[in-house]
Structure 1
């Protein structure tokens, strides 16, 4: 059934438009639209009553055309099981709300919108399969010299290569940092003595073996050190000789090539110190025996067995010469303050082993001299005596009167002021063997009295 509109200038107008959008306020425009629709022609443009309506319509049309042009046609979405739940959520007005209301359950914006202006990372900026470009790495990271020096200082004190690798490898992030790491390891190795050069060489080889550094990084570090050698010598007077031995060792072991080192030296003809260092390198390469002697374990970096043998030699020479000053100089050359408690133990062992009162007096005087001159730390006295007390059950096998001899030794040390009353009380009194009664023989050697009352040699 057809419907008519009588509100437009008294004319009867047939309603043929289904939606309110298709209606026109002007009857003439509506008639034109009806004619166009019946004949398949484009509909006339709807006129607006005011400038504000025209402006609003233009803005809506522009926004609508802009949004549709940015949209990328996508394939039809498959029907999923949560469509009903999404529809319910949208009917509640949750979608598009602020985060406190919807709990971040929905994303803002259109689901099928694709941003065609996303930043694309150039693959050429990524080095070695990494995720960051070099420019970004240089901006974010910086080589922390203080952390490197702290890790190296700790390594030179404890000698643990594993701990040093764990501390240093986290500071490597690009080629420049690797070259600087090799340079700092070599530079810090040039200070103090040859033993530190040996430690630096071991750490450098560990970094190379693990793949953290390459021979190119080492060559770059050597070139920089040779260029700065004149300034380094002001702080480290022996740096040139130590650097020469280190470079010669690297070339001798095949870490770097001799031809590559020749290329570096050819660029440094203007530097007198660099050329002198290069001459020392070639001298060590021509004399492998001398180079081998430079990299033997020595000083505080030697194994404990080597240090123990050196201390035993020092004590044997002292028992022959009685020169306490010579012992002081020899201990100073060892640079083994951390192992001086072993010297205190060895002095006590020799006092028990020689079994002579004069020997005990001489050895007690030696400890007192070393303590007064500062070559022996007071903190090493107690650990050395406690170890001697602990070893008494084993010493009894070779020295039957070890407990009695140790009692005499402790009393002499207490009399000279070496030990305190508290340490004296820690001497074991009861042993698995019966106590021996000691007496001094005609030649000054201690003897013990057996059950029959006869004097017998202690050992």
Structure 2
């Protein structure tokens, strides 16, 4: 192959011919100095001609200057030069390398792994934001907080140094605003009403501890709780007594009970204006607190001869009588009675039967209605309907039918007994009618008359009346009567 010559253009006085030997020496010096090297095949390339004349002679042209290119090592060059030691190893290492290609980087990920387009931030940054409440770290984020010390330089300026007063040898800090007693009483009343709904004393304790009150206002809990219980049912009064007893030595101390009952005794006349039974109810609360070891028994002795109010004297006398009776402390556990559905079913049935017997003797519908409401078992009113119908069937007289019809009509009109409870009572009688007929053979005919009366008074609807069972056996007289059905006389 013909040897190709190179010519280098001089500055002013022509050109100079350089051979391959001198060019190889020049390349060797350049490599030794640390400059990038070029091969013979790549040196001759230029933007113009390659310095080769068509007829085989070499010559120089004005634009035929050699331009040197500082080529960086490529993956292919590295893999070719190091192919003797490993196959493709350096190329793969360069591909997975995080070092910048300009040769000035330390090989670390950009922005600590938190930068780049479409990234979610540094790993674990969302946990740090939730745990330490650092907020957004990007100033362009809408949630960025300029006042957060972690996000910028916040300079604090101390204008005046105030020493906190000492209380019991410890700095008390800034003095909190004292909430008036009226506001505290409203908050306590709301907590008591909520306690009547769930009945959990522990939950009521946590609610009361969150109130912004002072230790000097703790006695208002006793005052507000007793005043709220006076306006509620006996079952709520029992819940109030349990709450007051459970809060002993936690929220309330002995002096709080004494101060609270002292205020109630002084205001018992005002309480009696709205609730005439207030003196009796307050006496029960005081005696129950003594039985629960919240206040000592000597609490009553300090008021002997000191109370000028008539209602206050009645209250103290009743409390002393409750404590002085035989096994008084044990009986005070049921001073409010056993409330609502916590009582046994047999006990409730006996109460309802006694209620109906007293009604038949007195014919007082309002008293029977009041006694039924005091039982506090609206889910068990179907038992009263059942017992009233059975009692009317067993008595076998028109008076019992008329009185029971009036009672059920009054209970239906006042919504003391709901329509569902009324239907449930009639359905129970229909189911037990075969057993009732064993004791009362004429129960079918009597029940039919009673159902017609109730249907006329609109106590029940047609659907309930149609479900009444018919007589399974018809009684006939002798053959000469023509098959007439004999009326049952009762």
Distance 1:314 1:133, change over 3 A: farther
- Report what 1:285 is aligned to: 323
Instruction: State which of 216, 222, 244 in structure 2 corresponds to 1:204.
Output: 244
Between structures 1 and 2, the one with greater helix share: 1
- Report what 2:219 is aligned to: 179
Instruction: State which of 306, 310, 314 in structure 1 corresponds to 2:355.
Output: 314
1:388 to 2:388 alignment: no
Which sections of structure 2, spanning at least 5 residues, go unmatched?
A: 1-109, 113-137, 478-485
- Is the 1:219–1:261 contact (alpha carbons within 8 Å) kept by the matching residues of 2? no
- Report what 2:385 is aligned to: 347
Distance 1:261 1:140, change over 3 A: closer
Instruction: State which of 209, 213, 217 in structure 1 corresponds to 2:256.
Output: 217
| Aligned-partner SS, 2:248 | helix
- Is the 1:165–1:207 contact (alpha carbons within 8 Å) kept by the matching residues of 2? yes
Distance 1:392 1:275 in 2: 52
| Residues 111-260 of structure 1: pairs in structure 2 closer than 5 A | 124=167, 135-138=175-178, 143-153=183-193, 160-162=199-201, 168-171=208-211, 173-191=213-231, 197-208=237-248, 211-260=250-299
1:107 to 2:142 alignment: no
- Is the 1:340–1:380 contact (alpha carbons within 8 Å) kept by the matching residues of 2? yes
Shift of 1:205: 1.7
| Aligned-partner SS, 2:295 | coil
- Report what 1:366 is aligned to: 403
- Is the 1:161–1:206 contact (alpha carbons within 8 Å) kept by the matching residues of 2? no
Shift of 1:333: 3.9
Distance 1:421 1:154, change over 3 A: farther
Distance 1:391 1:166, change over 3 A: farther
- Is the 1:151–1:164 contact (alpha carbons within 8 Å) kept by the matching residues of 2? yes
TM-score by length of 1: 0.54
Distance 1:232 1:379, change over 3 A: closer
Distance 2:154 2:458 in 1: 88
Q: Which moved more, 1:179-188 or 1:405-414?
A: 405-414
1:295 to 2:335 alignment: yes
Instruction: State which of 404, 407, 413 in structure 1 corresponds to 2:454.
Output: 413
| Larger Rg over CA atoms | 2
Distance 2:427 2:206 in 1: 37
Shift of 1:136: 0.9
- Report what 2:72 is aligned to: none
- Report what 2:306 is aligned to: 269
Shift of 1:295: 0.3
Distance 2:341 2:300 in 1: 29
- Is the 1:352–1:406 contact (alpha carbons within 8 Å) kept by the matching residues of 2? no
Higher relative contact order (CA 8 A, sep 6+): 1
Which sections of structure 1, spanning at least 5 residues, go unmatched?
A: 1-83, 87-97, 430-434, 443-454
- Is the 1:332–1:375 contact (alpha carbons within 8 Å) kept by the matching residues of 2? no
Shift of 1:331: 3.8
Distance 2:188 2:328 in 1: 32
TM-score by length of 2: 0.51
- Report what 2:374 is aligned to: 336
- Is the 1:348–1:388 contact (alpha carbons within 8 Å) kept by the matching residues of 2? yes
Shift of 1:282: 2.9
Count of residue pairs the alignment pairs up = 335
- Is the 1:308–1:342 contact (alpha carbons within 8 Å) kept by the matching residues of 2? no
Shift of 1:413: 2.1
Shift of 1:257: 1.1
Distance 1:253 1:226 in 2: 19
1:266-311 per-position Cα deviation (integer Å, ceiling 9, x unaligned): 8x83644555643443333222457737705168697373443211
| Aligned-partner SS, 1:136 | coil
Distance 1:117 1:153, change over 3 A: closer
